[in-house]
């Protein structure tokens, strides 16, 4: 099965917005490469407009702290599990509440954002272990219909979790995931995609050197082609439908397209939405 690619042109307003993003981020490109970037990154994510009618609730699910974004009328047996981005080094559940609230309001489902472990304090596989614990915690609360959602590194983590959960479900040890939606996922920590070079100037946020540093601190001595760290090298058998969103102006473009190609070849129902001229995780930067 070939991946279904949907190409979205950029409007004049889109291009104007991207020009503003480039002007604002030029001085900071490639600088999110250490724990010292956490306060600034959290401030940026916290500034995203929150959706109306969504309430936040601090919680511990499966032993993992985090936050719920709750919406009135949401079904009790369903939820979105949102894994945040930040290169496995920055980002937090609290800072991601405004962005995740948009998913809660638009989908009509409660959203859980776990605070999975970050490098260098808690390197691989801590983040994946925490995501698994959060999954089991949702199951223990009677939540049986779960969509996994994530962006950037959290998108890669989402796809790693998806592979594990799907295998567990096939063995009868958990319920199967409903679907997975990822934005600009980092699927290849070996950094082999051609877009790392071809999009290096065009990407307003990320550089290959920045990702190389993040990967080294996250992986330690782990092979970057370990399938649990880089889901592009994993087993695609039995995966549920996957939807990917990626911009043409980002170094992680091939991480998305190559993953979609391999998943489609394995028979997965996967759609890749390719957004012209858009930067990394662009939905977080546009008025919603």
Instruction: Please list the active-site residues.
Output: 152, 250, 280
Q: Which of 188, 262, 265, 263 is nearest to 231 (CA)?
A: 188
Give the count of alpha carbons within 13 A of 284, CB side only. 25
Q: What is the C-alpha to C-alpha distance for residues 185 and 226, in angstroms, rounded to an integer?
A: 16
| Angle, alpha carbons 137-138-143 (nearest 5°) | 150
Q: How far is CA 227 from CA 128, 151, 157, in A?
A: 12, 18, 11
What's the rounded Cα separation, in Å, for the pair 9 and 40?
31
Alpha-carbon gap, residue 146 to 257, rounded angstroms: 24
Kind plus residue range of the DSSP H or E element containing 148:
strand 145-151
Whole-number Å distance between alpha carbons of 172 and 35? 39
Ramachandran region of residue 108, left (φ > 0), alpha (ψ -120 to 50) or beta? left
Alpha helices in the chain (DSSP H): 12-25, 38-46, 97-107, 126-140, 153-170, 195-198, 208-219, 253-265
Angle, CA 38 vertex, CA 37 and CA 44 arms, to 5°: 95
Contact (Cβ atoms closer than 8 angstroms) between residue 149 and residue 119 = no
């Amino acid at each position: 099965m070939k991946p279904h690619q949907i190409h979205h042109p950029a409007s004049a307003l889109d291009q104007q917005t991207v020009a503003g993003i480039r002007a604002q981020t030029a001085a900071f490109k490639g600088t999110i490469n250490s724990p010292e970037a956490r306060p600034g990154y959290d401030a940026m994510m916290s500034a995203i407009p929150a959706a109306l009618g969504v309430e936040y609730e601090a919680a511990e699910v499966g032993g993992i702290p985090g936050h719920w974004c709750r919406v009135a009328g949401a079904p009790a047996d369903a939820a979105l599990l949102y894994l945040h981005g930040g290169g496995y080094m920055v980002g937090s559940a609290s800072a991601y509440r405004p962005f995740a609230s948009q998913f809660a309001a638009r989908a009509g489902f409660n959203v859980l954002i776990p605070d999975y472990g970050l490098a260098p304090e808690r390197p691989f596989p801590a983040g994946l272990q925490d995501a698994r614990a959060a999954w089991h915690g949702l199951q223990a609360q009677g939540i049986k219909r779960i969509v996994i959602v994530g962006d950037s590194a959290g998108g890669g983590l989402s796809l790693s979790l998806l592979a594990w959960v799907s295998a567990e479900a096939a063995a009868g040890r958990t319920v199967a995931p409903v679907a997975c939606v990822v934005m600009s996922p980092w699927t290849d920590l070996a950094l082999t995609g051609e877009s790392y070079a071809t999009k290096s100037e065009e990407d307003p946020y990320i550089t290959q050197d920045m990702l190389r540093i993040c990967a080294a601190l996250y992986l330690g001595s782990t092979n970057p082609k370990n399938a649990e760290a880089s889901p592009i090298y994993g087993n695609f058998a039995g995966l549920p439908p996957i939807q990917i969103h990626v911009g043409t102006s980002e170094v992680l473009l091939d991480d998305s397209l190559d993953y979609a190609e391999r998943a489609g070849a394995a028979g997965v129902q996967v759609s890749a939405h390719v957004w012209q001229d858009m930067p990394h995780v662009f939905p977080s930067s546009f008025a919603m």
